[in-house]
């Protein structure tokens, strides 16, 4: 059996160990260093760098991520140029891409009454507004590429050539409601001025008088 003296020594040793642990841990913080790490808010001053700025300039001969225009058909969003010849083939391709990717929100006629909007999502603006009719072609290309507001970018789904096809079709939709009769081909002007008379079917037993 353990003697009384040995038990007393063990208790004293345990008390001394506990006291030593308390003394060592007394100056330690339980907070993690990650929670207290130094950082700078954007554009706030900093005394770490010699120029006093926390926002660092780009390294020479480098390009910021996402700032490199890799599309061969890229134009700035202020540009009104159209880098592809607009023909029937391009318009038909644009119509197909538009119906796949754009009609859920923008609707078949571009008036913002797509099925997604009808079911509760915020209606996008109509393409027939004067603001969008007067917007340059590059603006539409930029919105398709990078998105705008609640709209995500479609650069992963729609290649550059098809984006321009969609832009061409959107322009066709805008023109469909704002074209002048004098700008239409002769055959269409004739149909507009002299619409064909519809043949009405007579009801059975109706008098011909």
pLDDT over 60 (residue 1): no
Average pLDDT over residues 145-164: 92
pLDDT tens string 175-204? 988 877 777 778 777 787 887 776 445 545
Reported as a pLDDT band with limits 50, 70 and 90, residue 154 is very high
Assigned architecture for domain 88-190: Orthogonal Bundle (1.10)
pLDDT of residue 159: 92
Q: Which two tokens stand for residue 141?
A: 């290309």
pLDDT tens string 77-124? 899 999 999 999 999 999 999 999 999 999 999 999 999 989 988 899
pLDDT tens string 117-146? 899 888 999 999 999 999 999 999 999 999
Q: How far apart (Å, rounded) are the C-alpha atoms in residues 30 and 66?
A: 41
Average pLDDT over residues 18-34: 61
Q: How far apart (Å, rounded) are the C-alpha atoms in residues 68 and 147?
A: 17
* pTM for this model (two decimals): 0.61
pLDDT of residue 5: 66
CB 105 within 8 A of CB 114: yes
Q: How far apart (Å, rounded) are the C-alpha atoms in residues 90 and 87?
A: 5
User: Which residue would you say has higher pLDDT here, 7 or 101?
Assistant: 101
Reported as a pLDDT band with limits 50, 70 and 90, residue 17 is confident
pLDDT tens string 37-81? 777 787 888 888 888 888 888 788 887 676 666 677 888 889 999
- Between strands 151-152 and 147-148, the pairing is antiparallel
What ranges do the domains of the chain cover? Answer: 88-190
């Amino acid at each position: 059996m353990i003697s009384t003296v040995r038990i007393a020594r063990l208790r004293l040793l345990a008390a001394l160990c506990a006291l030593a642990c308390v003394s060592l841990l007394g100056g330690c913080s339980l907070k993690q260093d990650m929670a207290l790490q130094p950082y700078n808010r954007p554009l706030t001053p900093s005394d770490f760098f010699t120029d006093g700025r926390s926002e660092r300039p780009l390294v020479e001969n480098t390009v910021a991520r996402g700032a490199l225009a890799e599309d061969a058909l890229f134009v700035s969003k202020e540009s009104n140029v159209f880098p592809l010849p607009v023909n029937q083939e391009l318009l038909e391709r644009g119509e197909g891409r538009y119906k796949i990717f754009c009609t859920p929100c923008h609707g078949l006629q571009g008036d913002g009454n797509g099925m997604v909007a009808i079911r509760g999502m915020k209606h996008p603006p109509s393409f027939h507004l004067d603001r969008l009719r007067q917007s340059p072609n590059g603006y539409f290309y930029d919105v398709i590429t990078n998105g705008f507001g609640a709209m995500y970018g479609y650069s992963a789904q729609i290649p550059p050539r098809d984006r321009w096809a969609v832009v061409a079709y959107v322009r066709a939709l805008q023109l469909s409601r704002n074209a002048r009769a004098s700008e239409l081909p002769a055959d269409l002007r004739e149909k507009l001025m002299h619409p064909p008379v519809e043949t009405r079917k007579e009801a059975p037993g109706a008098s011909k008088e």
